[in-house]
Chains A and B, each alone.
Chain A
Amino acid sequence: MNVRAAITIFSKDIRSELRTRYALNALIMFVITTLSVILFAIGNESVSPEVLSGVLWIIIFFSTMSGLSRTFVSEEERGTVLTLQLVARPVEVYCGKLLFNLVLLFALNTFTVALYLIFVTSFSVSSYSIFITTLVLGTLGLASASTIIAAIISKANTKGTLYPVLSFPILLPLLLTVINATKMAADGAALSEAAGEFQVLASYLVVITAVSYLLFEHVWKD
């Protein structure tokens, strides 16, 4: 694999996004809107930190579903898949787009978490070491799984609705784990107590990335 090729594909996607801003604006508004709805729904009720840990990841999951399919779907819609097939090896396309989704999701989640911590007053983090580690590992796993599924649905007819339908069962082990770990972070558990969660997240990340890497060519090529 030519690393330069993957990096160029990644930077092409970034530059394209910065130039057109199609996705970024919509995603930011999505997070703001979803958070607002939740704040209205909570109102003055006190909601336990356990539930709020789950709600945070619901917002993250749905914003992932809103944003991470674009990198593949836009190529299909514009007809540039053929072009990429002519200039790059499948693995280079995969790595470039995975990197793009990773950067996008890290940016998005940072934004989401920041807003969440500021505006959802009943939710506070006692153990930042657990929280940050969970966010990092969770974002990596989420981006990786979402990327291969995005590649799959980009070739299908009902892309938008199919994306969460295919992603949810695959992501459920990750979601359950990160929600659990976030609860621990809110409770102020020691870092070592969350070691099991981190192990699951790390191995999930390795497995899903390895499987995606091996199977991508079958999705990408005709």
Chain B
Amino acid sequence: MDLFVSFERKMATKSIIGLWLTAVIVAAFAFPTVPNPASWHEFPIVPGLEEKARIIFFHVPMAWTTVLAFIVSMIYGIRYLAKKNMDDDLKSASSAGLGLIFCILATVTGSLWAKFSWGSFWNWDPRETSIFVLLLVYGAYFALRSALEVEEKRASLSAVYAIIAGATVPFFIFVIPRIISSLHPDPIVNSRGKIEMNGSMLTVFLCSLAGFTALYFWMFNLRIRAGRLENKQHSIGE
């Protein structure tokens, strides 16, 4: 991932991402919601949510990014086990750190959304439970890392744990529907309709998705470069 090398390219990337996300945030909040959207910059009104529906522009991209970060962490974990190159462990841990941040953000925004939609911050509904489990996995991952002093062991074991988590967490996709179907019929769950998006909403949404993904990659790259410098510093100090 040595994509961004020269100073000019670094500045360019930083600026593009910054401007992009600023535009997304502005559009997310500034575009008005009207009953019958006619012009290109108008959003439809979402029954029950109205203005608060704007949270979708942030919550879903954050949730997506935390999943992406986990997958990247797992992939670099696998590479470490195959080649025992410490750089892969650095990448795995860096991605996991970002994943944790985005997961906290996703959990908080998701909780806000729940509050807007159904009046309570936490319901243990499928998606809330899933994001919470991911938070637990990240927490466990870092708890494990901090309990291991030897670098090589820390790298191997956290890679193994990430892979095990990656293998078992998807089971939620199968487990949750069965749990839900056997719950008492719950009006809150049933009225959790999708937010109908029109063209302009969809555009802003997708731009936000792309923006957050780019933000993740940029921060990932930054953390790796910082980590490598730190490693060099330690080696020189020896």
List residues of A whose CB falls within 8 A of some B CB.
Answer: 145, 148-149, 152-153, 155-158, 162, 165-166, 168-174, 176-177, 180, 183-184, 196-197, 200, 203-204, 207-208, 211-212, 215, 218-219, 222
Pair B136/A177 contact, Cβ less than 8 Å? no
**What are 22 A-B interface contacts by the 8 Å CB criterion?**
A148-B164, A155-B148, A156-B144, A156-B147, A156-B148, A156-B157, A158-B147, A165-B140, A169-B133, A169-B136, A169-B137, A173-B174, A176-B175, A196-B178, A200-B174, A200-B175, A207-B171, A208-B167, A212-B164, A218-B159, A219-B157, A222-B152
Structural contact, A180 and B167, CB atoms closer than 8 A:
no
Contact yes or no, A173 B172, CB < 8 A: yes
Q: Which residues of A contact B163 (CB under 8 A)?
A: 211, 215
Among A169, A176, A219, point to the contact of B179 (Cβ < 8 A).
A176
- A218–B157 Cα gap in the complex (Å)? 8
- Once the chains are docked, how many angstroms separate the CA of A145 from the CA of B167? 11
Query: In the complex, are the beta carbons of A200 and B178 less than 8 A apart?
Result: yes
Contact A162 B144 (CB under 8 A): yes
Q: Closest chain A residue to B160 by CB distance?
A: A215
Interface membership of B165, Cβ < 8 A:
yes
Residues of B within 8 A of A200 (CB): 171, 174-175, 178
* Contact with A152, one of B139, B160, B169, B178 (Cβ below 8 angstroms): B160
Cβ 8 A contact of A173, one of B140, B144, B149, B171? B171
On whether the beta carbons of A218 and B160 are closer than 8 Å, the reply is: yes
B182 interface neighbour in A149, A184, A208, Cβ under 8 Å: A184
Tell me how many residue pairs across A and B have CB atoms closer than 8 Å.
99
A219 touches B160 (CB 8 A): yes
Interface centre among A168, A176, A200 (most CB of B within 10 A): A176
Interface string of B162-195 (1 = CB under 8 A from A): 0111011101101110110010000000000000
Per-residue CB proximity of B111-143 to A under 8 Å, as 1/0? 000000000000000000000010011011001
Does A169 contact B148, Cβ atoms closer than 8 Å?
Answer: no
B139 touches A165 (CB 8 A): yes
> Chain B interface (Cβ within 8 Å of chain A)?
81, 133, 136-137, 139-140, 143-144, 147-149, 152-153, 156-157, 159-161, 163-165, 167-169, 171-172, 174-176, 178-179, 182
Q: Of B143, B156, B164, which contacts A162 at CB under 8 A?
A: B143
A78 to chain B, nearest CB (A): 19
Residues of B within 8 A of A157 (CB): 147-149
Contact B143 A165 (CB under 8 A): yes
Smallest beta-carbon distance A57→chain B, Å: 14
- A166 in contact with B140 given A152-B160, A200-B178, A219-B160 (CB within 8 Å): yes
A152 touches B179 (CB 8 A): no
Q: Is the interface of A mostly helix, strand, loop or mixed?
A: helix
Contacts A169-B136, A215-B164 known; 18 new A-B pairs at CB < 8 A: A148-B160, A153-B147, A155-B153, A158-B147, A171-B168, A173-B171, A173-B172, A173-B175, A180-B179, A183-B182, A200-B175, A203-B174, A204-B171, A207-B171, A215-B163, A218-B156, A219-B156, A219-B160
The answer to whether A177 and B168 touch across the interface, beta carbons within 8 angstroms, is no
Alpha-carbon gap, A151 to B157, bound state (A): 10
Q: Kindly state the separation between the CA atoms of A156 and B150 in the bound complex, as whole angstroms.
A: 10
The 3 A-B pairs of least Cβ separation, nearest first, read A173-B171, A156-B147, A169-B136
Known contacts A165-B139, A207-B167; decide if A180 and B174 are in contact (CB<8 Å). no
Contact A170 B165 (CB under 8 A): yes
Residues of B within 8 A of A158 (CB): 147
B168 close to A145 (CB less than 8 A): yes
Flag if B149 contacts A166 (CB, 8 Å): no
List B contacts of A165 (CB < 8 A): 139-140, 143
Q: Are A166 and B161 in contact (CB under 8 A)?
A: yes
Measured in the bound complex, the distance between the Cα atoms of B81 and A158 in whole Å is 23
In this complex, what residue of B is CB-closest to A171?
B168
Please tell me if the beta carbons of B182 and A152 are within 8 angstroms of each other in the complex.
no
Residues of B within 8 A of A222 (CB): 152-153
Contacts of B133 in A (CB 8 A): 169, 172
- Bound CA span A166–B138, Å: 10
**Distance to closest chain A CB from B230 (angstroms):** 22
